[in-house]
Structure 1
């Protein structure tokens, strides 16, 4: 498994019971302070709960180019002998977990790559081995390699894998530590390693390095120019300041003493060239003829090497495996203290999200009773939201904040449904008042008031409403001519100077002709808003699979029935509008009297001006004006309208204008109350999906709606497992995080 090549096979003697040296060296204790043990214990417990599959846990990852000495560094840090033989390289990620336990043991397992099929994942998860001697480790690694389907390097395209082999080692003197050894980066494809191998290993290493909670131990070999080693490029890209990267230099014994090349490596070790915030460290691996030496002998040989030549001048804090352990100890402690609070927050957020997803799935529903209760709960929630929305009571969290930048009836604000309906009704009323009349006619000569006030120039449609044609402007005389033409073609048995009452119907029907199209569009607009709003309510109250079923079987049918009822009601109102005009509203007679009063007042004012005589009293400069009675009488006789048709046309026009104003207000009230409110809005709470609806369903209907699909059951089980893991993780934090500062 080691990434170093060797000409011999090293088989360490068994530890009694596990440690091949007899006991773990004292220097290994540098990895463990009391404070760090408590912190690492938290991470260890989180990892045992399976949280590493849900969140990124803090870890040490050993990375480097192929044959850079990675596995030898890992072996020296942990003092665990890994098998080494010729041409053996790391072909998959290997996670080494050291645990402090009274009973020594070595166990292995495989965590399959998520990209594998379910059958392959199940098979690999079943791989679990327990051994009692490190001499059995090569056999276990070979078995894991075969289980992953890997073949010899260079013989097939299955030489490397994204699966993870976990080697868990426990013992009373073991530190609590987790490190990951990754396959070495390949510079270029060759006959032994394909382009696919190069890409797979590169992707795998980068994926681990990108984890913001990973401390990167970047191993480079002094046998090769460091500027050419790929790992340096990846470190600069992924962690440009070296905030979480510690560079480790191996094989310094290959450097020529006193050379400029050696000095460049010594400068690098002192962080003078490529700068990492965490700095650099130099270690000496076992040479080929030191393969069978103990760890204590290895450490002694290294100390002797660094006490000679220029290495003696190298600061102690950046050379030697024992000092490296001390650096790692402090580094781990500080790193974990920083990351664990963030990790706890992430766990809380993920638990909240998982709980929400489970809540959206609802309770388990396998029996009819469970299914009926499930649907009843959904219907009650839907009913509560709909009732509150219709009444305009927005205390429920569902309604959320108001988006001031969006329009009232926009998708962002449609949750506040009563406000949307009121807004649409007011816009509809305003539209008919501004542009509901075909002709814009002054009420009487000399005045500018029209049938709808002074707003004809603003008759353009508001957003979402139908664009009505601009009313055709008429002068008073043009309007009288229009009525005169209609009157001539509608004459009955009425005496001269009177008009056929039926002419008011024809005038009104033509004047109000834009109402029908505008009203139908308004009904469709409100109905569309109802559908959009109900869809959002279902998103809130029902799981997606249930929502789709409710829409197909109940909700869409109810909404269509409401729209049909609304249009039938509107048809009756429009039919009533087509009847002969009839009103008992005193406003109508008042309006006619006001128009006649205004008309005669204008006539009298004109006559008075014409009959006015001015004179200056003799001996004074005072100008006096009076009305000449004879002239006034004569002018009044001449002012009598001789054309009976024109007289009756003007009278009919005034009656039509008065009736139109009265009918328009009545029509708007009928549409908004009898059509919009009665059929489209009020029916939402009772007809869409109410508890009464559920109570009236048969068992087959209940089953069809609420039966849980297999994928939903699987999703629920996964979420339940995930929720349990996250809850255990937070429990660990609650019990242990307060134990260190």
Structure 2
């Protein structure tokens, strides 16, 4: 009954069938509108609106960027895959003795008032720009469409894609490009299916290689792993299903089987007695899939040679499944192309409805992500004008970041969230350590501890030299390691390390290496003053020579150079790290960064050397020059020390008066033990030197901080932080601008790929609006 109805419908459709072609061919052209499609001319496989949008997304290459819902036919070679595709599309696929499917083929049917057949090629992902331009320029619009014309068009596509032998002797058996065939007509339903090359395990001499096997495997797997792909997995009945690893691949990417529909082919070729195994699969007793299995009979060679059209594939298939046992016992909804199309209609409808909103969201997110990637490459810089503009903009941005880092306005740029780039904080913190280190370790000999205890709290200076039992700064492990590499003594608690900031390798030969200072050689009394005075005394009576304080100052402050050089070296390292880190973030491309830093380095070396030169100058002023000061604090300190000695002498004669104040009677002063002229001179030298050292220390610490650190290295007009600027860029020669600003080849390629990706995604976004 069903068969009679099918024949009646076919006769009706045949009368009204129109050909697309208007020319004759040796083989009668095959109409694009096939019987099984016309039976559903009043309906569509899926929502035409959604299907058309997905087809357009695939056509413009968005499938390279986001996962799109698609129907893909996969299987081993010789599994009957091409025959399944013919059954779904009713297209006259060419057949030859070689490999038929050498690239992915997307066949799209669209309902339109105009009938047409158009062929085009979508370039594969990551192919060269030249190849992409070549394949995009190729297209064919066919007035008629039969096996010969299809074969001719496929041969052209092979040549355009580069499939086949090359002039250099190289053979390409497969291509990553996608061949698109779009068929429109008033009676076409909205349907799209993708055919991919059949998987194979053995090479064919002169035709395929192991690389081809890997390429096909990657291509097929790429389609299968798309979570929005519905897979028609084709397996021939006349093979052991358990040995078909295409099933294993499908289970790997779709473990729940929710998007895998198994297609069994060639039931007419199965060995007698093996039918029960296929029936078990069809009935769900073996190799279960959530979407189930479907059984098709491929046309035999006799069917392919029959040209009188007396029987259609559908008719032959219907007769087979109605008359042959045990296939006639299977449900009609599980056998034949006609019922397969009905199953696919329901399957695709629900699939597109679920996935379409996700596709829109993915395209928006992907477009934003790719635009950010393109932005991270900076502006295009392929001409001298573009390169100059790019460098000027980069210099302006760098200048703003450097100013924010110097002023402590870290919220102005995200880079400054890195604590190692917070220059203001680093300078202040390291300067505090420097001041404390100078007070603790700067003196070669300790001043008399007893007199120090006589000072009042108000008289104490923040940098007043006092002996300490431990260092003011405990160096980090990396500094200890640097000290070990510099062949200094193993670090111990009583040692001071002159460095506390890591040294960039490129300036390691410019800065002071880590050095260790001990404080265990400090003498606790004024014996050292006595020794120095006795070794330099002359004919003076009850006094000392003026140059003696200068000589003693040189010995007492001999550690200042090491400590200050370590301090300046640390700040230089911090500044250099800042410059290189910010430029690394702003300048795109290793070659450009290297060229710019190499050009800057020559000037930076001069700036750094100037900082050390000025540090030496300030040290020499105090150590080699005469001791001179106009600071009132000198007199104040000296008077305090002298009063302390007087208080020490009369302390034993003191008593309390009626007001509970400590007083000394005048008559008791005559009982104070007098000291010799020599002792008096030594004490006077001690107190003068101590008062002067205290004033000089404060002056020196402030001088190093203000003159060297702040003015020369951080905020002054010749600060290395100000070297890279728009003015610096304007002074460059054109060759220098090109060497620094030109894009690296890999960046150009990356930029072009991102621009093409943005173009595709933007078009996809427009399609989905």
Report the TM-score when normalising by structure 2. Answer: 0.76
Q: What is the rounded CA distance, in whole Å, between the counterparts of 1:562 and 1:202 in structure 2?
A: 60
The answer as to whether partners of 2:261 and 2:294 remain within 8 angstroms in 1 is: yes
Alignment CA distance shift 1:165-1:543 (3 Å): closer
Deviation string, structure 1 residues 539-594 (Cα, Å, up to 9, x no partner): 444444665554344x3344334323323322321222222223333433433444
SS in 2 for 1:24: helix
Alignment CA distance shift 1:56-1:147 (3 Å): same
Deviation string, structure 1 residues 307-343 (Cα, Å, up to 9, x no partner): 5755566556654434433443444344445544554
Q: What is the rounded CA distance, in whole Å, between the counterparts of 1:30 and 1:594 in structure 2?
A: 108
Q: What is the rounded CA distance, in whole Å, between the counterparts of 2:233 and 2:42 in structure 1?
A: 23
Specify which of 74, 81, 98 is matched with residue 85 of structure 2: 74
Q: What is the rounded CA distance, in whole Å, between the counterparts of 1:398 and 1:295 in structure 2?
A: 76
Q: What is the rounded CA distance, in whole Å, between the counterparts of 1:51 and 1:71 in structure 2?
A: 26
SS in 2 for 1:580: coil
Q: What is the rounded CA distance, in whole Å, between the counterparts of 1:228 and 1:221 in structure 2?
A: 11
User: In angstroms, what is the RMSD of aligned CA positions?
Assistant: 4.2
SS in 1 for 2:197: coil
SS in 1 for 2:105: strand
Deviation (angstroms), 1:393: 1.5
Matches within 5 A, 1:103-252: 103-111=114-122, 127-131=138-142, 132-135=144-147, 136-146=149-159, 158=171, 160-172=173-185, 173-189=187-203, 195-252=210-267
Q: What is the rounded CA distance, in whole Å, between the counterparts of 1:649 and 1:668 in structure 2?
A: 28
SS in 2 for 1:414: helix
The answer as to whether partners of 1:236 and 1:242 remain within 8 angstroms in 2 is: yes
Whether 1:14 aligns to 2:62 is no
Deviation string, structure 1 residues 249-307 (Cα, Å, up to 9, x no partner): 222344468x5x43433333344433444443333333444335979943344455555
Q: Name the structure 1 match of 2:313.
A: 298
Matches within 5 A, 1:14-33: 14-16=29-31, 18-19=32-33, 21=34, 24-27=37-40, 32-33=45-46
Equivalent residues, number: 683
The answer as to whether partners of 2:713 and 2:720 remain within 8 angstroms in 1 is: no
Q: What is the rounded CA distance, in whole Å, between the counterparts of 2:257 and 2:353 in structure 1?
A: 18
Q: What is the rounded CA distance, in whole Å, between the counterparts of 1:447 and 1:198 in structure 2?
A: 89
Deviation string, structure 1 residues 514-551 (Cα, Å, up to 9, x no partner): 22123223323322322332233334444446655543
Whether 1:687 aligns to 2:700 is no
Q: What is the rounded CA distance, in whole Å, between the counterparts of 2:467 and 2:292 in structure 1?
A: 82
Deviation (angstroms), 1:213: 3.8
Q: What is the rounded CA distance, in whole Å, between the counterparts of 2:162 and 2:383 in structure 1?
A: 44
Whether 1:384 aligns to 2:400 is yes
Deviation (angstroms), 1:701: 6.9
SS in 2 for 1:575: helix
Q: Name the structure 2 match of 1:64.
A: 75
Deviation (angstroms), 1:700: 7.6
Deviation (angstroms), 1:354: 4.2
Q: What is the rounded CA distance, in whole Å, between the counterparts of 2:747 and 2:385 in structure 1?
A: 19
Q: What is the rounded CA distance, in whole Å, between the counterparts of 2:126 and 2:174 in structure 1?
A: 11
Deviation (angstroms), 1:730: 2.0
Q: What is the rounded CA distance, in whole Å, between the counterparts of 1:182 and 1:51 in structure 2?
A: 18
Deviation string, structure 1 residues 642-677 (Cα, Å, up to 9, x no partner): 4x4444334433433333333223222211221111
Q: What is the rounded CA distance, in whole Å, between the counterparts of 1:726 and 1:50 in structure 2?
A: 9
SS in 2 for 1:591: helix
Q: Name the structure 2 match of 1:47.
A: 58
Deviation string, structure 1 residues 477-504 (Cα, Å, up to 9, x no partner): 3xx11221111112234323x3434333
Specify which of 475, 478, 485 is matched with residue 531 of structure 2: 485
Matches within 5 A, 1:68-107: 68-85=79-96, 89-107=100-118
The answer as to whether partners of 2:575 and 2:721 remain within 8 angstroms in 1 is: no
Whether 1:661 aligns to 2:688 is no
Q: What is the rounded CA distance, in whole Å, between the counterparts of 2:684 and 2:330 in structure 1?
A: 115
Matches within 5 A, 1:349-498: 349-356=365-372, 358-359=374-375, 373-399=389-415, 402=417, 412-440=418-446, 443-444=449-450, 451-452=465-466, 454=468, 456-462=470-476, 464-465=500-501, 466-477=514-525, 480-496=526-542, 498=543
Q: Name the structure 2 match of 1:616.
A: none
Whether 1:726 aligns to 2:761 is yes
The answer as to whether partners of 1:94 and 1:165 remain within 8 angstroms in 2 is: yes
Q: Name the structure 2 match of 1:518.
A: 563
Deviation string, structure 1 residues 114-137 (Cα, Å, up to 9, x no partner): 687776666555553333212311
SS in 2 for 1:61: strand
Q: What is the rounded CA distance, in whole Å, between the counterparts of 1:448 and 1:41 in structure 2?
A: 96
SS in 2 for 1:444: helix
Deviation (angstroms), 1:392: 1.5
Q: Name the structure 2 match of 1:652.
A: 685
Deviation (angstroms), 1:14: 1.7
User: Gapped runs of 5+ residues in structure 1?
Assistant: 1-10, 403-411, 610-625, 736-741
SS in 2 for 1:247: strand
Alignment CA distance shift 1:481-1:382 (3 Å): same
The answer as to whether partners of 1:499 and 1:648 remain within 8 angstroms in 2 is: yes
Q: What is the rounded CA distance, in whole Å, between the counterparts of 1:530 and 1:30 in structure 2?
A: 73
SS in 2 for 1:84: coil
Deviation (angstroms), 1:74: 1.7
Q: Name the structure 1 match of 2:510.
A: none
The answer as to whether partners of 1:99 and 1:174 remain within 8 angstroms in 2 is: yes
Deviation (angstroms), 1:716: 5.3
Q: Name the structure 2 match of 1:672.
A: 705
The answer as to whether partners of 2:604 and 2:720 remain within 8 angstroms in 1 is: no
SS in 2 for 1:281: strand
Deviation (angstroms), 1:110: 4.2
Q: What is the rounded CA distance, in whole Å, between the counterparts of 1:627 and 1:673 in structure 2?
A: 46
Q: Name the structure 1 match of 2:675.
A: 641
Alignment CA distance shift 1:546-1:94 (3 Å): same
Q: What is the rounded CA distance, in whole Å, between the counterparts of 1:413 and 1:177 in structure 2?
A: 59
Query: Please, which moves more after superposition, 197-206 or 544-553?
Result: 544-553
Deviation (angstroms), 1:607: 6.8
SS in 2 for 1:472: coil
Q: What is the rounded CA distance, in whole Å, between the counterparts of 1:442 and 1:334 in structure 2?
A: 94
Q: What is the rounded CA distance, in whole Å, between the counterparts of 2:652 and 2:289 in structure 1?
A: 100
Q: Name the structure 2 match of 1:284.
A: 297
The answer as to whether partners of 2:443 and 2:556 remain within 8 angstroms in 1 is: yes
Q: What is the rounded CA distance, in whole Å, between the counterparts of 2:353 and 2:674 in structure 1?
A: 104
Alignment CA distance shift 1:606-1:345 (3 Å): farther
The answer as to whether partners of 1:31 and 1:325 remain within 8 angstroms in 2 is: no
Alignment CA distance shift 1:338-1:22 (3 Å): closer
SS in 2 for 1:456: coil
Deviation (angstroms), 1:398: 3.3
Specify which of 273, 277, 292 is matched with residue 264 of structure 1: 277
Q: Name the structure 2 match of 1:506.
A: 551
The answer as to whether partners of 2:446 and 2:467 remain within 8 angstroms in 1 is: no
Alignment CA distance shift 1:287-1:476 (3 Å): same
